């Protein structure tokens, strides 16, 4: 009978019954007519006909039974039975549901993040056509500039190209001055990014060339202008200048969620110096042009640029990178790592569920035999046991998906900041569908084998010492081995991540951050050098006068925060060997003492402009000077005119948290090395809560156009640098812990089931003179074997995935033998704990009762 | 009404219904009447078995049904044979013939 018509039968039940009633009525009428024709009086005929027809209700019932979904009814019965049997085993039920729920919840929420961050294209129209033109000089990535951008715009592979740079501006809003992140674009910007305002219009060509016009992001418009549609008639004050609002860009268009305004590049930076590097270049490929074709054209152009602009473009290379690739590159590896870890956990959940069900299958052999003897087929038994699994899957998945909803929010708060498009991660129907199908696939696979094993008929006479259970034993052994191997892999990975994190935090701790406050002040790119210098000097003076303040230092970029200005150095008397790339920091001489960075040789530079004195770090000396005396050497940085003199050497501080070793760096007085960010470090005994408002007050008094971007303890400022490895190690660590618990539960279930199954055998052994300790040794021996095999496989997996991990996690600590041993011990302990209870039960084996055990 | 001796042998109902429908669409009552008439009242079809059987046969796809009007203008459900039903009839006729033959042989032998 077709499944479809049966299903239809269920759904059209009422219709079917009505039809049957009509038919029976007709039948009765016809019969009555005939009886009347035969001479019976009408009333009698009617009664006879009804009597002949019998009980209409029973008839209906019988007719219905045919199409009424024996099938669904059977499942319904199976489910009812499952609920009953699951309720009788709360530990098994709760364990299975909890492990499924946690696994599905974790995978689904992570999937939604990976989906938004890694897989969804950038939120720009036809982003697949957009490429970054990344410039390199002697292998080092550099920024572009106005003149070179104009060269890139001539590429025939591009329908249009533009330059852009990030800029922060000061906005005079109703709540006072605020620092706002913006992106500045050049001519061709609206065409290249294909901006399509939801209110107002795009920049005109003349505006793109440097007019004071602004496009608002939808978020800014909604938050600051209450989504006022008449916003285009207004002007806003940016950096003290009026900017006319021309339109609002939809939220779906963004290159970074931090960008609140889109502005044309400032006039002074429209052309710029060919030697400078402050721009990113983006091109839009013409339809049908591949990135490879564009790259080939770019290569020809770079060759010409090198020839024509020897002093600025020597060694120039360009790499065309898809914008979507670029924007998700940084986030991809940690996310994929998490994904791998979660998949491992999911696999363990499947194995575990399978193991738990298998244990149940073992207990059920007699039940199955009884059912078979009473007429159940293998198919119906599989259906019964699968129903149980599916019920578990259903409840587990439902809870898991609920967890996923809050899991996404949790991930958004704990993942390191600055991941593009993270805010767009949400559990949508695709994610849900994925989670549900994953859950059911896992449960089905996990449930199928045990159901089959359970259903495979043992006869009532058998006690499970058949070949079938021998296969079951293999499977159980395999499960134990898999649990141990996976657990080992996960825990080792987690320990390595934790070690990496510990190492990174060690680096920050070496900095002595207590009682220090960090103040970050960004300036607009076009702020005159003199104004920045004047502010820096005045601010340091004012901060020093604040109560409790002992030291104040200033530098362009704080350590460990990443980012650097760098260039090639030439050192007098030294023949360059390899790359001479060196970081450049502009600072005050007081910075070193304030941060606790030691002066190792010579003296610090003087806090006076145009002295051209620098100090270098230890790495500089070791890498460039082979440890020879650096004091008095002349250095030329990035081919700039005038040579700098090394006057001192300071200790190493790493610029990026993930680095194993500090880059060579040189430090010069801030007036000689303009960079539009100042970080002040204030050492003070006054708490931040008291000092903070005072600092804000001072800054406001000094320059109304300067806005503080961050005011926090130095600990917190540097903590941001360590947040990524910290979070990663927490996440992986919690998954590893979960894995450990899962493994213990799984192994416990398997061994316990084994003991239960062999109860009778143990009875025989004891009756024939065996002892309980001997039985324990026998079981322990087997467990030891499985543990060893699992450990070997696990170690193999650790070694196998090591390369992959190291490429995924920057600065990952190498796997240590000691770590491996500790982890193995941990797993061993978990496994021992898992088999402890089953082994204890052995003491209770009474040969007489065990032999009769059923 | 008590069950008579002439209750149908189990499994033959399908065959008889299929055979009856061979001549064209008939309604349920018509089927019982036909079988009764042709067998000279020797075979009686229980309504309690007929309608479930018709239903099952329809689900199997051997017969199809639709509402129609009788000579006396009564609304009735008419059943007719499908192509699969025709094949089924052929098979059942053959196996019935085999059964009769075998039973007869046994009876003659004894």
Residue A89, both tokens: 């085993």
Q: Inter-chain contact B48–A58, Cβ cutoff 8 Å?
A: yes
Nearest CA in chain A to B72: A30
Cα gap A266→A184, rounded to integer Å: 8
pLDDT (0 to 100) of residue A331:
59
Task: Chain A: give the shortest CA distance to residue B60, in Å.
Answer: 5
Q: How far apart are the first and last CA of chain A?
A: 40
Report the pLDDT averaged over residues A328-340: 66
A392-395's contacts with Cβ under 8 Å and 24+ in sequence apart are: A392/A86, A392/A93, A392/A96, A392/A97, A392/A100, A392/A353, A392/A443, A393/A100, A393/A439, A393/A440, A393/A442, A393/A443, A393/A444, A393/A447, A395/A97, A395/A101
Report the pLDDT averaged over residues A397-410: 83
Whether the full predicted model's pTM is greater than 0.80, yes or no, is: no
CB contacts under 8 A, A 183-202 vs B, are: none
Q: Inter-chain contact B61–A2, Cβ cutoff 8 Å?
A: yes
DSSP A366-406: HHHHHHHHTT--HHHHHHHHHHHHHHHHHHHHHHHHHHHHH
pLDDT (0 to 100) of residue A54:
65
Q: What percent of chain A has pLDDT over 90?
A: 6
Q: Inter-chain contact B52–A19, Cβ cutoff 8 Å?
A: no
A20 contacts in chain B (CB < 8 Å) = 51, 55
H-run or E-run covering A696: helix A688-702
Task: Chain A: give the shortest CA distance to residue B106, in Å.
Answer: 33
Cα gap B36→B8, rounded to integer Å: 11
Q: Inter-chain contact A67–B27, Cβ cutoff 8 Å?
A: no
Residue pair A728/A496 in contact by the 8 Å Cβ criterion: no
Task: Chain B: give the shortest CA distance to residue A374, in Å.
Answer: 25
Closest C-alpha among A406, A497, A494 to residue A112: A406
Task: Chain B: give the shortest CA distance to residue A384, in Å.
Answer: 26
pLDDT (0 to 100) of residue A811:
63
B74 contacts in chain A (CB < 8 Å) = 26, 29-30
Nearest CA in chain B to A53: B47
Closest C-alpha among A345, A414, A418, A420 to residue A116: A420
Q: How far is CA A423 from the centre of its chain?
A: 12
pLDDT (0 to 100) of residue B4:
39
Comparing CB atoms, the residue among B47, B60, B75 nearest residue A54 is B47
Mean pLDDT taken over chain A: 78
Q: Inter-chain contact B77–A22, Cβ cutoff 8 Å?
A: yes
**For A221-276, what is each residue's pLDDT tens digit?**
988 888 888 888 889 988 888 999 999 988 777 776 668 899 998 887 777 778 77
A26 contacts in chain B (CB < 8 Å) = 27-29, 74-77
Task: Chain B: give the shortest CA distance to residue A43, in Å.
Answer: 17
B76 contacts in chain A (CB < 8 Å) = 23, 26
Nearest CA in chain A to B66: A19
Q: Does A774 touch chain B (CB under 8 A)?
A: no
- Among A30, A37, A62, A68, most B C-beta atoms within 10 A, so best to mutate, is A30
DSSP B6-44: TBPPTTHHHHHHHHHHTTS-EEHHHHHHHHHHHTTTS-B
Q: Inter-chain contact B59–A53, Cβ cutoff 8 Å?
A: no
Nearest CA in chain B to A31: B29
* pLDDT tier, A119 (very low <50, low <70, confident <90, very high otherwise): low
Res. B79: pLDDT tops 90: yes
Comparing CB atoms, the residue among A1, A9, A20 nearest residue B51 is A20
pLDDT (0 to 100) of residue A286:
92
Closest C-alpha among A269, A255, A439 to residue A353: A439
Distances (CA, A) of B110 to A58, A356, B101: 43, 62, 14
Q: Does A51 touch chain B (CB under 8 A)?
A: yes
Q: Inter-chain contact B48–A26, Cβ cutoff 8 Å?
A: no
CB atoms within 10 A of CB A19: 16
Chain B residues within 8 A (CB-CB) of chain A? 1, 27-29, 32-33, 46-48, 51-52, 55-56, 59-61, 72, 74-77
Comparing CB atoms, the residue among A33, A51, A67 nearest residue B55 is A67
Task: Chain B: give the shortest CA distance to residue A838, in Å.
Answer: 54
- Among B2, B28, B29, B33, most A C-beta atoms within 10 A, so best to mutate, is B29
Only one residue has tokens 């530079």, namely A605
Residue A528, both tokens: 């005159």
Under DSSP, the state recorded for A267 is G
Report the pLDDT averaged over residues A2-15: 54
pLDDT (0 to 100) of residue A467:
40
**By mean pLDDT, which of A127-136, A333-342, A654-663 is the weakest?**
A654-663
Mean pLDDT taken over chain B: 83
Task: Chain A: give the shortest CA distance to residue B96, in Å.
Answer: 23
Nearest CA in chain A to B78: A23
**For A537-593, what is each residue's pLDDT tens digit?**
888 899 888 888 888 999 988 876 656 677 778 888 777 777 778 888 888 989 988
Closest C-alpha among A830, A596, A565 to residue A675: A565
pLDDT (0 to 100) of residue B110:
59
Q: What percent of chain A has pLDDT over 70?
A: 79
Report the pLDDT averaged over residues A119-145: 77
B51 contacts in chain A (CB < 8 Å) = 20, 23-24, 59, 62-63
Cα gap A25→A31, rounded to integer Å: 10
Cα gap A851→A838, rounded to integer Å: 18
Cα gap A476→A748, rounded to integer Å: 11
H-run or E-run covering A742: helix A714-757
Comparing CB atoms, the residue among A33, A54, A66 nearest residue B52 is A66
CB atoms within 10 A of CB A399: 17
Nearest CA in chain B to A30: B29
B52 contacts in chain A (CB < 8 Å) = 59, 62-63, 65-66
Q: Inter-chain contact B52–A29, Cβ cutoff 8 Å?
A: no
Cβ-based neighbours of A787, under 8 Å, separated by 6 or more: A484, A827, A828, A831
Task: Chain A: give the shortest CA distance to residue B99, in Å.
Answer: 26
Task: Chain B: give the shortest CA distance to residue A10, in Å.
Answer: 13
**For A735-786, what is each residue's pLDDT tens digit?**
777 777 777 777 777 777 777 777 777 878 888 877 888 888 888 888 888 8
Report the pLDDT averaged over residues A830-847: 75
B29 contacts in chain A (CB < 8 Å) = 26-27, 30-31
CB contacts under 8 A, A 12-31 vs B, are: 19-20, 22-24, 26-27, 29-31
Nearest CA in chain B to A28: B29
Closest C-alpha among A225, A226, A231 to residue A197: A231
Cα gap A191→A187, rounded to integer Å: 9
B75 contacts in chain A (CB < 8 Å) = 22, 26
pLDDT (0 to 100) of residue A455:
65
Closest C-alpha among A281, A264, A327 to residue A162: A281
Q: How far apart are the first and last CA of chain B?
A: 37
CB-defined contacts A:B, below 8 A: 62
Comparing CB atoms, the residue among A52, A65, A67 nearest residue B47 is A52
Comparing CB atoms, the residue among A1, A6, A54 nearest residue B48 is A54
Report the pLDDT averaged over residues A514-520: 83
Report the 3 state secondary structure along A675-692.
Answer: CCEEEEEEEECCCHHHHH
Q: Is A651 exposed, middle or buried (0-12, 13-18, 19+ CB in 10 A)?
A: middle
* pLDDT tier, A387 (very low <50, low <70, confident <90, very high otherwise): confident
Cα gap A163→A146, rounded to integer Å: 8
* pLDDT tier, A464 (very low <50, low <70, confident <90, very high otherwise): very low
Residue pair A599/A630 in contact by the 8 Å Cβ criterion: no
Residue B18, both tokens: 């299929």
A8 contacts in chain B (CB < 8 Å) = none
Pairing type for strands A581-587 and A665-669 reads parallel
Nearest CA in chain A to B31: A27
Cα gap A708→A697, rounded to integer Å: 11
Cα gap A111→A113, rounded to integer Å: 5
Q: Does A68 touch chain B (CB under 8 A)?
A: no
């Amino acid at each position: 009978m077709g499944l479809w018509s049966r299903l239809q039968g269920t759904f059209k039940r009422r219709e079917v019954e009505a039809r049957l009633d009509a038919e029976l009525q007709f039948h009765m009428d016809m019969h009555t007519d005939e009886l009347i024709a035969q001479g019976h009086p009408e009333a009698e005929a009617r009664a006879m006909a009804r009597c002949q027809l019998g009980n209409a209700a029973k008839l209906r019932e019988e007719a219905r039974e045919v199409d009424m979904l024996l099938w669904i009814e059977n499942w319904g019965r199976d489910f009812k039975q499952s609920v009953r049997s699951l309720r009788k085993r709360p530990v098994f039920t709760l364990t299975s549901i909890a492990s499924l729920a946690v696994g599905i919840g974790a995978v689904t929420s992570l999937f939604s993040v990976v989906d938004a961050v890694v897989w969804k294209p950038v939120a720009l129209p036809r982003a697949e056509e957009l490429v970054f033109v990344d410039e390199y000089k002697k292998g080092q990535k550099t920024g572009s500039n106005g003149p070179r951008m104009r060269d890139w715009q001539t590429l025939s592979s591009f329908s249009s190209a533009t330059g852009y740079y990030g800029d922060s501006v000061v906005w005079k809003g109703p709540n006072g001055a605020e620092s706002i992140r913006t992106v500045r674009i050049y001519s061709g910007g609206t065409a290249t990014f294909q901006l399509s305002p939801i209110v107002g219009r795009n920049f005109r060509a003349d505006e793109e060339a440097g007019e004071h016009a602004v496009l608002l992001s939808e978020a800014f418009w909604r938050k600051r202008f209450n989504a006022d549609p008449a916003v285009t008639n207004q002007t806003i004050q940016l950096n003290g200048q009026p900017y006319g609002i021309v339109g609002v860009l939809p939220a779906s268009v963004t290159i970074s969620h931090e960008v609140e305004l889109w502005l044309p590049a400032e006039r002074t930076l429209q052309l710029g110096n060919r030697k400078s590097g402050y721009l990113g270049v983006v091109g839009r490929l013409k339809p049908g042009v591949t990135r490879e074709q564009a790259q080939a054209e770019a290569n020809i152009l770079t060759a010409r640029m090198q020839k024509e602009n020897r002093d600025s473009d020597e060694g120039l290379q360009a790499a065309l990178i898809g914008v979507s690739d670029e924007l998700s590159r940084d986030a991809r590896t940690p996310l994929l790592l998490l994904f791998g870890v979660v998949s491992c956990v999911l696999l363990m959940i499947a194995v575990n569920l399978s193991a738990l069900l298998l244990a149940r299958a073992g207990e059920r052999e007699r039940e199955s035999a009884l059912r078979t003897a009473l007429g159940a087929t293998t198919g119906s038994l599989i259906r019964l046991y699968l129903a149980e699994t599916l019920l578990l899957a259903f409840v587990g998945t439902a809870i898991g998906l609920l967890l996923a909803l809050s899991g996404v929010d949790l991930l958004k708060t704990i993942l390191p900041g600055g991941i593009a498009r993270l805010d767009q991660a949400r559990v949508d129907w695709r994610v849900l569908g994925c989670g549900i199908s994953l859950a059911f696939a896992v449960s089905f696979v996990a449930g199928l084998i045990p159901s089959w094993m359970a259903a495979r008929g043992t006869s009532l006479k058998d006690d499970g010492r058949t070949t079938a259970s021998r296969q079951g034993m293999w499977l159980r052994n395999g499960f134990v081995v898999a649990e141990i191997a996976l657990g080992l892999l996960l825990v080792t990975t987690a320990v390595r991540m934790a070690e990496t994190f510990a190492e990174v935090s060690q680096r920050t701790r070496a900095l002595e951050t207590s009682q220090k406050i960090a103040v970050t002040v960004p300036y607009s790119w076009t702020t005159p050098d003199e104004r920045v210098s004047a502010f820096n000097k005045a601010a340091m003076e004012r901060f020093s006068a604040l109560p409790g303040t002992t030291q104040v230092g200033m530098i362009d970029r704080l350590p460990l925060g990443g980012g650097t200005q760098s260039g090639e150095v030439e050192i007098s008397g030294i023949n360059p060997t390899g790359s001479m790339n060196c970081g450049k920091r502009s600072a005050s001489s007081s910075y070193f003492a304030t941060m606790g960075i030691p002066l190792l040789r010579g003296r610090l530079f003087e806090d006076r402009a145009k002295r051209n004195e620098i100090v270098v770090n230890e790495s500089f000396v070791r890498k460039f000077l082979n440890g020879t005396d650096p004091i008095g050497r002349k250095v030329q940085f990035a081919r700039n005119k005038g040579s700098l003199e090394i006057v001192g050497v300071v200790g190493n501080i790493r610029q990026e948290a993930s680095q194993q070793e500090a880059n060579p760096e040189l430090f010069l007085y801030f007036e000689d090395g303009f960079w539009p960010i100042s970080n002040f470090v204030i050492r003070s005994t006054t708490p931040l809560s008291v000092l903070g408002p005072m600092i804000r007050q001072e800054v406001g008094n000094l320059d109304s156009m300067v806005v503080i971007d961050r005011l926090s303890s130095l600990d917190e400022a540097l903590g941001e640098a360590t947040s990524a490895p910290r979070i990663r190690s927490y996440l992986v660590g919690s998954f590893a812990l979960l894995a450990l618990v899962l493994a213990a539960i799984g192994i416990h279930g398997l061994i316990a089931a084994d003991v239960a199954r062999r109860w009778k055998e143990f009875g025989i052994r004891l009756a024939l003179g065996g002892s309980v300790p001997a039985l324990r040794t026998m079981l322990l021996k087997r467990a030891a074997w499985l543990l060893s095999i699992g450990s070997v496989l696990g170690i193999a997996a650790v070694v196998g995935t090591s390369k992959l991990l190291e490429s995924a996690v920057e600065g990952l600590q190498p796997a240590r033998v000691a770590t491996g041993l500790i982890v193995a011990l941990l797993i061993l302990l978990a496994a021992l704990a898992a088999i402890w209870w089953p082994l204890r039960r052995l003491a209770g084996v009474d040969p007489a009762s065990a032999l009769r055990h059923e | 009404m008590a069950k008579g001796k002439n209750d149908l042998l189990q499994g033959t109902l399908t065959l008889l219904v299929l055979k009856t429908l061979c001549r064209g669409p008939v309604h349920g009552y018509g089927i019982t009447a036909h079988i009764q008439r042709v067998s000279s009242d020797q075979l009686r079809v229980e309504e309690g078995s007929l309608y479930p059987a018709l239903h099952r046969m329809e689900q199997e796809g051997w017969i199809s049904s639709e509402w129609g009007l009788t000579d006396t203008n009564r609304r009735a459900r008419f059943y007719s044979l499908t192509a699969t039903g025709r094949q089924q009839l052929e098979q059942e006729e053959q196996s019935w013939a085999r059964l009769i033959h075998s039973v007869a042989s046994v009876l003659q032998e004894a």
